[in-house]
Amino acid sequence: MAYSDKVVDHFNNPRNMGSFKKDEEGVGTGMVGAPECGDVMKLQIKVQNDMIVDAKFKTFGCGSAIASSSLATEWLKGKTIEEAQKIKNTDIVQELNLPPVKIHCSVLAEDAIKAALADYQKKADGTTSAAK
Amino acid sequence: MDHQHTHSSNPRELQMARSMCWHCQSEVSGEYFCDRCVKVQPVSKETDYFTCFGFPRRLTIDPGKLEAKFYELSRAFHPDFYQNKSETEQSISFGNAATLNSAYRTLRDPIQRVEYLLDLEAGSVKEIRNSPPADLFEEILELQDTLDEYRASDRASDAGQQLRTTLQAEQQTLEERKRDMETQLQQLFTDWDLLQDRGEATSQARSERDRLLKQMRETLSNRTYVKSIINDLVATIG
């Protein structure tokens, strides 16, 4: 099975690889795994005034998993929290031209986005209630 | 719902669901051959792999018994015996042999066996969602950084050698952990079988059942993560 050009490009030149400190202000961390294949994905967002100003990822897995998370961080940057919620795995499949056997990689990326957003929300709620 | 999981000790009773013989229309009670006309009967799609071999749904299986039963049934469906039979019988026996092959491959391997049982007992694997093991994930990702560092390094250099030593030690630790998980699975197998043998329908038994299934799923998942990073390690440092 051949990877699409876009997958190869993200794989060879992954965007936004790395990580933020978990406890840094405005950082949300999503950590997900696919127990079927053993892939692990960590996706982080940095939020300022409801806007995602930066995003980073680290992925242990196949080329499609790396490409999916790389693309996800690219898309996340500059989006509001609300807009980010709307990113669907099918968008990733379409953009990267993923074959059916690799759809689970895009699902993992969507899960990672959701988990990062939820983590950010949880932290933000905690800060506001602590301030009250 | 638990009634269907309890098995009687008589395998004749629990084989394929009662149906009609395709040939003589007499009732067949889940045997591979019709009692009356002795024609081969197709394995129903609903028949699970344990039942195919006349085994109860237990996780500890005697490999010798499994193999013996497999050979016995393989002989029963061997194409040689069907050369002079009708096309229907040939295709039924062929189909049965294929099903038995998959069943044997699945049940022979303890990991595939428990994966299969989880599918049967808990529906799709995805229905049991465990919280992801964050610590293990962090560890895997950190290890991956070290692996990348090693790949980029000059392997002959001191730094390269040192990274290699670190990675080798990591590999050993991980392999040990994988073995621990397998031992833990063995224990869960025993617990599961004991629970099934007791055949209680109490709410306590039900929650014990769910707990065991959840724990098996969790241990299996963690094992897969550990296994995949070990594979990566082995491929990199050889």
Please spell the DSSP secondary structure of A24-44, one letter per residue: STTEEEEEEEETTTTEEEEEE
By the CB < 8 Å criterion, does A39 face chain B?
A: yes
Task: Nearest chain A residue to B134 by CA: give it.
Answer: A31
Q: Could you count the other beta carbons within 10 Å of the beta carbon of residue B49?
A: 21
Mean per-residue pLDDT of chain A: 92
pLDDT, averaged in runs of 10, over chain B (238 residues):
40 53 80 83 86 94 96 91 90 92 96 93 62 89 92 91 95 96 97 94 91 92 94 92
Which among A37, A39, A40 is the top mutation candidate for probing chain B, defined by the most B β-carbons within 10 Å of its own β-carbon?
A40
Per-residue pLDDT, averaged over A6-20, amounts to 91
Asked if A39's CB is within 8 angstroms of B232's CB, the reply is: no
**pLDDT (tens digit per residue) in A41-80:** 999 999 999 999 999 999 999 899 999 999 999 999 999 9
**Quick one: CA dihedral A85, A86, A87, A90, positive or negative?**
positive
A102 touches chain B (CB under 8 A): no
Q: Do A35 and B138 touch (CB under 8 A)?
A: no
Per-domain boundaries in chain A: 5-124
3-class SS at B194? helix
Q: Is B230 in the A-facing interface, judged by CB distances under 8 Å?
A: no
Residue A7 CB partners (closer than 8 Å, separation 6+): A63, A64, A67, A96, A97, A98
Scanning A104-123 for CB atoms below 8 A from B yields none
Q: Touching check for B138 and chain A: CB below 8 Å?
A: yes
E strands along chain B, which residues?
Answer: 19-20, 27-28
In the three-class reduction of DSSP (H, G, I as helix; E, B as strand; rest coil), residue A60 is classed as: strand
- State yes or no: is A62 an active-site residue: no
B141/A37 CB distance under 8 A: no
What residue type is A125 in one-letter code? Answer: D
3-state DSSP assignment of residue A23: coil
| Sole residue written with tokens 């309890």 | B6
Q: Do A31 and B134 touch (CB under 8 A)?
A: yes
Higher pLDDT, B8 or A83: A83
Judged by CB atoms closer than 8 Å, whether chains meet at A40 and B232 is answered as: no
Contact by Cβ (8 Å): A85, A117: yes
Nearest CB to B132; choose among A33, A58, A60: A33
Query: Any bridge partners for residue A17, and if so which?
Result: A57
- CA distances to A109, B22, B36 from B39, rounded to whole Å, are 53, 9, 8
- Catalytic option among A37, A50, A80, A121: A37
Contact A39, B140 (CB under 8 A): no
Tokens of B169: 């030690």
Closest residue to A42, CB basis, from B141, B221, B227: B141
pLDDT at residue A128 greater than cutoff 60: yes
CA pair distance B213, B122, nearest whole angstrom: 8
One-letter amino acid identity for B45?
K
Q: In this structure, which topology does domain A5-124 adopt according to CATH?
A: Sufe protein. Chain: A (3.90.1010)
- DSSP tag of A50: T
DSSP at B30: S
**Closest residue on chain A to B145 (Cα):** A58
CB contact under 8 A, B137 and A40: yes
Fold observed for domain B2-108: Helix Hairpins (1.10.287)
Determine which of B111, B118, B131, B138 to mutate to test the interface with A (most A C-beta atoms within 10 Å).
Answer: B138
CB A55, CB A31: distance < 8 Å: no
Tell me if B224 and A60 make a contact (CB, 8 A cut-off). no
Indicate which residue of A41, A66, A71, A105 is catalytic: A105
- In the three-class reduction of DSSP (H, G, I as helix; E, B as strand; rest coil), residue B224 is classed as helix
What letter would DSSP give residue B234?
H
Task: Cite the DSSP H helix spans in A49-131.
Answer: 63-76, 81-85, 89-96, 103-131
pLDDT of residue B125: 47
Listed by start position, the domains of chain B span: 2-108, 130-237
Amino acid, single-letter form, for residue A83:
E
Amino acid identity at B146: T
User: Burial of A25 by CB count in 10 Å (0-12 exposed, 13-18 middle, 19+ buried)?
Assistant: exposed
- pLDDT confidence of residue B2: 39
Chain B residue numbers touching A31 (CB-CB < 8 A): 132, 134, 137-138
| Complex prediction ipTM | 0.83
**CB atoms A36 and B138 under 8 Å:** no
Reply yes or no on whether A37 is catalytic.
Answer: yes
- Structure tokens of A61? 């897995």
Q: Is it the case that residue A129 has pLDDT exceeding 60?
A: yes
